[in-house]
């Protein structure tokens, strides 16, 4: 596969066109799709299924349909997600860090996800990345801006010269002059690798020399010139001259993908934290009910101290109840900590981390079957994953640098063209006007050749760039494999956790039935002993643990769905978040 990818990169257009990375992306993804033989042979969606374990469990009671529904309702009211009154004002929270009762605010999943996408500080930090990169693009494009230049110089010269008379004189003759030179023009680097210069020069000279009469004097010389320097081998063409611009454009696109990656990570983390907050909330309710049940059982045991309960049994029951209340206290702390974690993610001013407002989820985690196709999931990831896009940009970067290094191996052969229009007049205005009559024209053509002997520096740089391109291709292949592995892992988690929800629900119903039977025996006084009450404490704890496992499976299922969409790169679309990438300046 690596050889095929290298061949694709070698045939890719590289930096020769502004849409080079898009063409490279299409070529690479087409090649990857051709390797997905197993997933694409079974493209039809599959739906998560269960083994109807609850129905099988309820059939063990041998009850008619009406009695079965009544028994089921009784067991559901004893424990499970439907057994609790989700009254925010009745949450057993205690005092906050200010010593005051907690203020509780309910939040929905959609609300916190939108707040996190808009306000999260890490997202805000990443949003500045494309703007910084766009400044780098402007800086790279500035190399091709017109540059105005000018210079002014004045000088006064007086120097002795040889005597020019036919008969020897008494001393040297003298030459004196006063000169003023002004030059102004514009120049620009060309995308072909050359440079174009337009220049106007005006020279004023007032010269006196012994034995010679100069005309005109003073004199104004005007020269308008057009000069072109164009490399023909090394540094020729837009693939070299625009290399830094295209690298800067790729850097901006990479920053956009980093922003998208951060946004996907933030959305996923917000979903994960929201469901973990729900878990902590329900865990607190479960442990509070467990403590209350233990308190009631402890009163029964204490009342039997005159019958069959010894001090050790009473102390043991009391210790177990106290431990249950300690667990309630721990659950309160967990709930507050997860509320603060959600506040950090959403970064909402009226729900600041410094405040003591407690966030509680209003949404219950859904328990619905999921349809999936491994082939569709992989192809979606290849199209949308930011790290796939970044790996392709890395290949494009190394391709650009390789082309530049390849060009640098050529000898230097520069063409130099110059056209000058000259005029000489007493008056400066006349000289500036007469130069365009083209009475005095200079034309210069030249070539500059240079070739390093051995050329070791350029050859070694080209070898280095070629190896870096191969590294980028290997990195892309590794990224693809990591993405496919992540998709398979998250899909496995979705399927497994969906099945575990019902299995844990059966476990919870069985534990509830055990406790219900003890309650019936206690009410009927059938075999009612201190050992029965101790067994009741054990079964209460078994029921609470079964509840917590069921909630854990339900939470894991919903988190695994969020992680699956993260693996596919579709978290933003799933949450109806529009991602608008900033416009990238086009090449000039």
Banded model confidence at residue 224, pLDDT cuts 50, 70, 90: very high
Region of 93 on the Ramachandran plot (φ > 0 left; ψ -120 to 50 alpha; else beta): alpha
pLDDT of residue 526: 57
**CB neighbours of residue 107 within 10 Å:** 20
Torsion of Cα atoms, 341 then 345 then 346 then 349, to 10°:
70
Residues contacting residue 201 through CB under 8 Å, at least 6 positions apart: 181, 182, 183, 222, 223, 224, 225
Crossing angle of helices 456-524 and 65-78, in 10° steps, is 110
pLDDT of residue 11: 46
Tell me the percentage of the chain whose pLDDT exceeds 90. Answer: 53
Banded model confidence at residue 86, pLDDT cuts 50, 70, 90: confident
Q: Tell me: the pLDDT tens digits for 92-102?
A: 887 788 788 88
Q: How many residues does the chain have?
A: 588
Banded model confidence at residue 167, pLDDT cuts 50, 70, 90: low
As a whole number of angstroms, the distance between CA 238 and CA 506 comes to 70
Strands 103-107, 357-361: pairing is: parallel
pLDDT of residue 176: 81
Q: What value does the mean pLDDT take over residues 62-68?
A: 76
**CB neighbours of residue 253 within 10 Å:** 21
Q: Which whole-number Å values give the CA distances from 328 to 115, 241, 358, in the listed order? A: 31, 69, 17
Give the angle 512-514-519 at the CA atoms, nearest 5°. 90
- 334 pLDDT exceeds 80? yes
Question: If 0-12 CB within 10 Å is exposed, 13-18 middle and 19+ buried, where does residue 44 land?
Answer: exposed
Q: What is the DSSP letter of 64?
A: -
Strand order in the sheet with 147-161: 147-161, 173-189, 195-209, 219-231, 412-425, 440-450
Q: Tell me: the pLDDT tens digits for 529-542?
A: 777 888 889 999 99
pLDDT of residue 91: 84
Q: Which residue has the higher pLDDT, 25 or 92?
A: 92
Q: What value does the mean pLDDT take over residues 305-325?
A: 87
Banded model confidence at residue 290, pLDDT cuts 50, 70, 90: very high
- 254 pLDDT exceeds 90? yes
Q: Which whole-number Å values give the CA distances from 451 to 236, 311, 325, 408, 461, in the listed order? A: 15, 102, 86, 11, 16
As a whole number of angstroms, the distance between CA 23 and CA 26 comes to 5
Helix (H, G, I), strand (E, B) or coil at 268: helix
As a whole number of angstroms, the distance between CA 256 and CA 582 comes to 8
Q: What is the DSSP letter of 575?
A: T
Least confident residue range of 101-105, 395-399, 442-446: 101-105
Q: What are phi and psi of 175, to 5 degrees?
A: -125, 125
pLDDT of residue 1: 46
Q: Tell me: the pLDDT tens digits for 190-218?
A: 999 999 999 999 999 888 877 777 778 88
Q: Tell me: the pLDDT tens digits for 457-500?
A: 999 999 999 999 999 989 998 998 899 999 999 999 999 999 99
Whether the upstream peptide bond of residue 188 has omega within 30° of 0, thus cis, is: no
Q: Tell me: the pLDDT tens digits for 367-389?
A: 888 888 888 888 899 889 999 99
Banded model confidence at residue 73, pLDDT cuts 50, 70, 90: confident
Q: Which residue has the higher pLDDT, 101 or 175?
A: 101
Q: Tell me: the pLDDT tens digits for 436-464?
A: 888 899 999 999 999 999 899 999 999 99
Q: Tell me: the pLDDT tens digits for 292-304?
A: 999 988 888 888 8
- Which of 497, 424, 518, 1 has the alpha carbon at shortest distance from 214? 424
pLDDT of residue 168: 54
């Amino acid at each position: 596969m690596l050889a095929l990818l290298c061949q694709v990169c070698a045939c890719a257009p590289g930096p020769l066109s502004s849409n080079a990375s898009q063409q490279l992306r299409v070529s690479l993804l087409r090649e990857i799709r051709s390797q997905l033989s197993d997933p694409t042979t079974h493209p039809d969606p599959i739906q998560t299924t269960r083994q109807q374990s609850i129905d099988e469990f309820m059939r063990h009671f041998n009850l008619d349909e009406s009695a079965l529904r009544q028994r089921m309702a009784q067991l559901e009211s004893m424990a499970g997600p439907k057994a609790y009154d989700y009254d925010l004002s009745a949450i057993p929270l205690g005092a906050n860090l200010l010593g005051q009762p907690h203020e509780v605010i309910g939040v929905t999943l959609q609300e916190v996800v939108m707040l996190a996408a808009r306000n999260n500080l890490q997202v805000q930090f990443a949003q500045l990345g494309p703007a910084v990169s766009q400044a780098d693009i402007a800086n790279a494009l500035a190399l091709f801006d017109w540059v105005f230049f000018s210079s002014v110089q004045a000088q006064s010269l007086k120097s002795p010269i040889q005597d020019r008379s036919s008969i020897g004189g008494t001393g040297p003759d003298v030459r004196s002059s006063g000169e003023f030179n002004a030059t102004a023009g514009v120049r620009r680097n060309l995308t072909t690798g050359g440079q174009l210069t337009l220049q106007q020069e005006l020279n004023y000279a007032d010269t006196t020399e012994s034995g010679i009469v100069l005309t005109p004097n003073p004199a104004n010389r005007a020269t308008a010139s057009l000069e072109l320097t164009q490399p023909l081998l090394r540094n020729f063409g837009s693939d070299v001259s625009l290399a830094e611009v295209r690298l800067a454009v790729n850097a901006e696109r990479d920053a956009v993908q980093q922003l998208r990656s951060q946004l996907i990570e933030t959305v996923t983390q917000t979903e994960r934290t929201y469901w973990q907050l729900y878990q902590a909330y329900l865990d607190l309710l479960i442990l509070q009910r467990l403590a209350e049940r233990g308190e009631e059982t402890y009163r029964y045991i204490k009342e039997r101290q005159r019958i069959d309960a010894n001090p050790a049994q009473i102390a043991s029951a009391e210790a177990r109840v106290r431990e249950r209340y300690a667990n309630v206290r721990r659950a309160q702390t967990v709930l507050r900590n997860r509320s603060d974690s959600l506040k950090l993610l959403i970064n909402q001013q009226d729900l600041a981390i410094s405040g003591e407002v407690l966030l509680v989820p209003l949404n219950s985690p859904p328990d619905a079957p999921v349809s999936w196709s491994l082939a569709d999931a992989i192809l979606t990831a290849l199209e949308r994953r930011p790290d796939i896009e970044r790996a392709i940009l890395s290949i494009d970067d190394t391709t650009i640098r390789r082309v530049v290094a390849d060009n640098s191996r050529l000898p230097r052969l520069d063409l130099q063209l110059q056209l000058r229009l000259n005029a000489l007049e007493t008056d400066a205005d006349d000289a500036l006007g007469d130069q365009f009559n083209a009475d005095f024209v200079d034309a210069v053509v030249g070539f500059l050749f240079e070739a390093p002997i051995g050329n070791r520096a350029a050859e070694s740089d080209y070898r280095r760039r070629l190896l870096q391109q191969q590294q980028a291709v290997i990195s892309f292949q590794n990224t693809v494999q990591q993405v496919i592995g992540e998709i398979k892992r998250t899909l496995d988690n979705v399927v497994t956790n969906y099945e575990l929800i019902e299995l844990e629900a059966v476990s919870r119903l069985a534990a509830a039935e055990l406790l219900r039977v003890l309650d019936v025996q206690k009410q009927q006084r059938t075999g009612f002993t201190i050992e029965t009450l101790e067994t009741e404490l054990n079964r209460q704890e078994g029921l609470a643990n079964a509840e917590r496992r069921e909630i854990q499976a339900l939470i894991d299922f919903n988190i695994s769905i969020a992680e699956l969409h993260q693996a596919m790169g579709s978290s933003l679309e799933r949450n109806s978040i529009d991602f608008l990438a900033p416009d990238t300046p086009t090449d000039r």
